[in-house]
């Protein structure tokens, strides 16, 4: 069953909170995105931005595992959330 957009946004916000608590990863995310701390706060309500947060975390299996283990959720939850946010739709070529 597909995740609702509301549930996906909650997962992504939780992921952002987790990311903010990890100095090294947060620095990498901010460097890669070019965002300042103020930009980060302002963007936190944007579904597009939340998708980017999940994209960043999902680039590294260790980050996915660490996030999911810290929150007690299954490892596929970030991907399910990403699919429910803008730009996360699966492309079907057939």
pLDDT in the model for residue 92:
57
- pLDDT (tens digit per residue) in 15-31: 999 999 999 999 999 99
* CA atoms of 27 and 29, how far apart (whole Å): 5
Task: Flag residues of the chain having pLDDT under 70.
Answer: 1, 88-94
pTM of this prediction exceeds 0.85: yes
Q: Which residues neighbour 48 within 8 Å (Cβ) at sequence distance 6 or greater?
A: 85, 86, 87
CA–CA dist 48, 90 (Å, integer): 16
């Amino acid at each position: 069953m597909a995740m609702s957009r509301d549930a996906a946004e909650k997962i992504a916000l939780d992921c952002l909170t987790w990311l903010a608590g990890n100095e090294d990863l947060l620095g990498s995310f901010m460097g890669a995105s070019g965002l300042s701390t103020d930009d980060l706060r302002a963007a936190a309500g944007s579904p597009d931005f939340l998708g980017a947060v999940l994209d960043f975390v999902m680039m590294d299996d260790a980050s996915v595992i660490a996030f999911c283990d810290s929150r007690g959720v299954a490892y596929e939850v970030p991907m399910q959330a990403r699919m429910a946010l803008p730009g996360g739709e699966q492309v079907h070529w057939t």
